[in-house]
Amino acid sequence: MTGRHVTAGRLARTAGVLAVALAVSIAAAVAIGPVHVSLTQALARADSPDYAILFRTRLPRVLLAGVVGGSLASAGAALQALLGNPLACPHLLGISGGAAVAGVFALIAGADPVSPLVPLAAFGGALGAIAIVGLGSRAGGRTTPHAVLLVGVVFNALAAAALMLLNAIVSYTQAQGVLFWIMGSLSTQSYALIAGVTAYSLVGIAWLMTRTHELNLLAAGEEGALQLGVDVERTRRTVFVAASLLVGAAVSVSGMIGFVGLIVPHLLRLALGPDHRIVVPASFLGGAAFLVWADTLARTALAPVELPVGVVTALAGGPFFLFLLRRHLRRAVR
Amino acid sequence: MVLAACAAPPAIPPGPPGRVVSLAPSVTEIVYALGVGDRLVGVCAQCDEPAAASLPRVGGYLAPSVEATLALRPALVIVVPSPGNREAVRAIERAGVRVLVVQDRTLNDLWASIRDVSAALGVEPAGATLAAELQHRLDDVHARIAGRPRPRVLAVVGHRPLVAVGPGTLQDDLIAIAGGENVMADAGGPWPALSLEVVVARAPDVIVDASMGTEAGLHELFDHLETIPAVRAGRVVRLADADAFLRAGPRVPTAAAALASLFHPSVPATAAMTPATS
Amino acid sequence: MTAVLAAESVSFAYGDAAVLHAVDVAVAPGEIVGVIGPNGSGKTTLVRVLSGTVAPAAGIVRLDGVPLASFRRRERARRLAVVPQDPVLDFPFTALEVVLMGRAPYLGTLGFPRARDLEIARDAMARLDVGALEDRPLDRVSGGERQRVLLARALAQEARVLLLDEPTTHLDLRHQAGMHDVVRALARERGVAVVSVLHDLNLAALYCDRLVLLAGGRVVRAGTPGDVLTADVLRAAFTTEVYVGVHPVTGGPVVLPRATV
């Protein structure tokens, strides 16, 4: 018996299976939509509406859903490990709030919702939030999960208050723009944007991956990890920054989409075990597929009207989260 | 002092109210169009009616300030329900101030608003005149373009999320009056959010933008989608005066005329399409 | 014999509360030193100072004659292993996965084990009689099994110095003896130097070559079990009356509490 421990082979096999599932999901999502499209027509004539729908509106959107879902889920997995809480979500630490506030400011200042200035401003907000939460939670040269959680939650509350304030003072139509941040939107046509975000996310994932073994060691106790040679402080800092950068980028381009970063890692951990070397990359692939499907549902459920994708993830994730919470509480009581 | 102000309802003086606060831009415009703008003592922050420029602001359309409103000792507060001002309005009512609620969703709401506001201000004849004039000008616009083939129209009020004008709205009525066919007339609600592919499929001939976005943003939104007739023909246009289109106020005939010019460029504009009074 | 791990006059304080005063402890290869003392005497803190988890406020800890602080983390982890007091384990890793963690100081970034690492891990588990628990998640084993798994993890580190903080608290009689036997075999066969914090004075007498008695953060007595475990010394340190007898087999001291009523 080879045992259930993780090997490079097992990682490759798991990633392979999930990658195939993701590819199938992407193909299916491109085929499904509120409008009936003919693939043959699309391939035959590049100037047909079918082509425009498939390759100018659906495919970019599906790809963006994939990379955003993957970023949120893998960051969620890492942050759950960092905070030592399997029910933590990536929006908890205020990074998303910082991005949203900065993005709304850009909108109020007159930027168009679809201009690249908005995601850039939002990303700046995310960086600011990372700096504030990261530095604010350092005490005596140490960054404990407890401190990060506290400072992050406070910052989150401040950001939420700021958003409500901005919402109250903007005009009615500007308020629609604020909705984008709170509900999320994956609509895009820019392959350049997708390529940029994907490259960035892959770097972020790779960086996170280098710390997954250390996250395992940390999970078995801080003192134990220290004596096994782990630089715990550096690991925590790195994971916090890498995961936050992933979340910041995702939120900057698509607003706050909840539950992906909470549900997907948790499900995968239940199925694949607690080893972060598997859970983090699996979360990337699984989160990508999850959001692709959620966005497909958002596009088609009430055709021709489109639901905000955040509503779909909340409806899918909310009841599931309650179920998980009950399970967690029952186990804690035992 | 504040408690006393909140506790005792002020006696409502007889005769038409002399101190009026308007909590919506469309209401402010109606009041001025009725010729009784001098009775306004306060307006909301978004009220951009030029004649009201010097009036104190009492908070936003979405979140009016109860204190600022009550501090002006109004005899009447006119309000349009918005997501967020319900509590403030209740508080103003509890303080004993008379509140008139008017709707702004459809064209019929506009007629009802004019009727109710003019009645509350004791200027019913002016209200009837205003309503009649606006109706006359709308009919005029419609007559100009009657019988012509109706272009398929998409009216956009938000870029991201992409939100369009749906059925059961004043804006939908204006599109019809201006001789256009709203491609989203079958949407389930008044403000459908749309996927771009739906726009491609519905292939509007004209796209009208009444959102807060920029010109550049609008074109970027429909970039590469030349299969849409509106994009191909360059008929993706930002409305110069979006507020006239979006507000249930006295400028709707101007909006209708602007739309008619966009939908039927070959029809010349006439004097009847421009407002008789400002 | 030269000491492989030595604490020289170390002091430590948590904030204002001084916990250790000028403590000297040294252990040579193959030697088992027991640290005993009443609650709050600073035993666990001493383990943390010896392992390098915390730096002493005064004094120095040397490993192989070199200041402990000068070692890189991984290098230190290859030479010194710690079995902490029963920690809480949040994620359900299997016993084998936990023991494999002990190989971390020898593995690359992602820490995938090679065949040799699996062999070492399984060997360690066999010595601690937890081989059957290989695939059992650690939140579904008993407290005693968990302690043995953690000792197996420390064994897998192949360190020459082993620090144990109350390693047998949850174990039943059979496994208590078993664990101490394993540790002694390591010391004798492989020359591992062991410092073990013990609650049970009789086990300390049985298994340790030398004892260090801590009270109030100071070393009150150090020497062989016979030197340290006397009624007078114990009365002063533990502020209670005890009866010290002679073990019928080993001839060493046996400590029994004395009823005062």
**How many residues comprise chain C?**
261
Assess whether B11 and B116 both reside in one domain. Answer: yes
CATH number assigned to the domain comprising residue B117: 3.40.50.1980
pLDDT, position C1: 57
Res. A173: pLDDT tops 70: no
Domain shared by B26 and B138, yes or no: no
Q: Which of B124, B153, B183 is the last residue of a domain?
A: B124
Q: What is the structure's pLDDT at B208?
A: 94
pLDDT digit string, tens, across residues A63-89: 999 999 999 999 999 999 888 887 788
pLDDT the model gives residue B33: 93
Same domain membership, residue B174 and residue B52? no
Q: What angle do CA C69, C74, C80 make, to 5 degrees?
A: 70
A225-274: pLDDT as tens digits = 999 999 999 999 899 889 988 998 898 899 889 889 999 998 898 889 88
Instruction: Tell whether B153 and B221 lie within a shared domain.
Output: yes
A92-130 pLDDT tens trace: 888 888 888 888 888 778 777 777 788 888 888 888 888
**Do the domain assignments include residue B278?**
no
CB contact set of A156 (below 8 Å; sequence gap of 6+): A91, A92, A93, A94, A96, A97
Give residue B28's pLDDT. Answer: 94
Task: Say if residue A138's pLDDT is above 50.
Answer: yes
What residue ranges define each of the domains in chain C, with the CATH number in brackets? 5-86+159-257 (3.40.50.300)
Q: How many domains does chain B have?
A: 2
Q: Show which of B124, B151, B181 is a domain's final residue.
A: B124
pLDDT single digits (tens) C52-75: 988 999 999 999 999 999 999 999
| Percent of chain A scoring above 70 in pLDDT | 95
Report which of B190, B212, B211, B6 is spatially closest to residue B96, judged by C-alpha positions.
B6
Q: Can you tell me the mean pLDDT for A291-295?
A: 96
Confidence at residue C91, expressed as pLDDT on a 0 to 100 scale: 62
Using CB atoms, pick whichever of B62, B187, B213 lies closest to residue A304: B187
Nearest by CB to C93, which of A86, A228, A274?
A274
Question: Is B212–A180 a contact, with Cβ atoms under 8 angstroms apart?
Answer: no
- Nearest by Cα to B256 from B117, B161, B143, B163: B143
Answer yes or no: is pLDDT of A331 > 80: no
Task: List CB contacts (< 8 A) between C71 and chain A.
Answer: none
CB contact under 8 A, A185 and B161: yes
* A53, closest residue in chain B (CA to CA): B197
Which residue in C has a C-alpha nearest to residue A3's C-alpha?
C135
pLDDT level of residue A175 (50, 70, 90 thresholds): low
ipTM of the complex: 0.87
The boundaries of the domain holding residue B90 are 2-124
Give the pLDDT confidence score for residue B133 in this predicted structure: 95
DSSP B28-83: HHHHHHTT-GGGEEEE-TT---GGGTTSPB-B-SSSB-HHHHHHT--SEEEE---T
Look at B61 and A177 and tell me if their CB atoms are within 8 Å: no
Between chain C and chain A, are at least 3 CB pairs below 8 A?
yes
Partners of C8 in beta bridges? C60
**Prediction pTM value:** 0.86
The arithmetic mean of pLDDT across residues A178-189, rounded, is 82
Gap between the Cα atoms of C9 and C49, Å rounded: 12
How close B246 comes to chain A (CA, Å)? 10
Give percent of chain A above pLDDT 90: 36
Residue B129 maps to a domain: no
Q: Are residues B101 and B177 in the same domain?
A: no
pLDDT at B7: 47
A285 three-class SS: helix
Beta bridge partners of B163: B158, B193
Residue among B156, B212, B243 with most chain A CBs within 10 A, to mutate: B212
- Asked if C73's CB is within 8 angstroms of A7's CB, the reply is no
Residues B191, B75 within the same domain:
no
Residue A3: per-residue pLDDT: 56
C155 falls in which pLDDT band (50, 70, 90)?
Answer: very high
Query: Is the CB of residue B63 less than 8 Å away from at least one CB of chain A?
Result: yes
- Asked if C81 lies within 8 A of A8 by C-beta distance, the reply is no
The CATH fold of domain A8-333: ABC transporter involved in vitamin B12 uptake, BtuC (1.10.3470)
d(CA C222, CA C208): 12
Q: In this structure, are B112 and B140 located in the same domain?
A: no
Among chain A residues, the shortest Cα distance to C96 is held by: A5
Q: Give CA angle at B111 (B107, B112), nearest 5°.
A: 110
User: Is B117 in the same domain as B206?
Assistant: no
CB C110 within 8 A of CB A212: yes
pLDDT band at A150 (very low <50, low <70, confident <90, very high): confident
Per-residue pLDDT, averaged over C218-239, amounts to 90
Contacts with C118 from chain A: Cβ below 8 Å: 3
Q: Is the pLDDT of residue C200 over 50?
A: yes
pLDDT over threshold 80, residue C86:
no
Task: Tell me which of A187, A188, A300, A302 to substitute to probe the interface with B (most B C-beta atoms closer than 10 Å).
Answer: A187
**Residue in the structure block whose two tokens are 């009919």:** B139
The answer to whether the CB atoms of C89 and A220 lie below 8 A apart is: yes
Counting one residue from A and one from B, how many pairs have CB atoms under 8 Å apart? 142
> Which candidate, C156, B105, C12, places its Cα nearest to that of A217?
C156
Residue B277 lies in a domain: no
Q: State residue B276's pLDDT score.
A: 40
- Given this model, what pLDDT does residue A65 score? 96
Q: Which residues of chain B have pLDDT under 50?
A: 1-9, 12, 271-278
Asked whether residue B75 is domain-assigned, the answer is yes
pLDDT of A334 over the 70 cut: no
> What's the pLDDT score for residue A333?
66
Q: Pick from B124, B152, B184: which residue ends a domain? A: B124
Question: Is the per-residue pLDDT at A199 higher than 80?
Answer: yes
- pLDDT value of position B106: 92
Q: What does the pLDDT read at residue A324?
A: 77
Q: What percent of chain C has pLDDT over 90?
A: 50
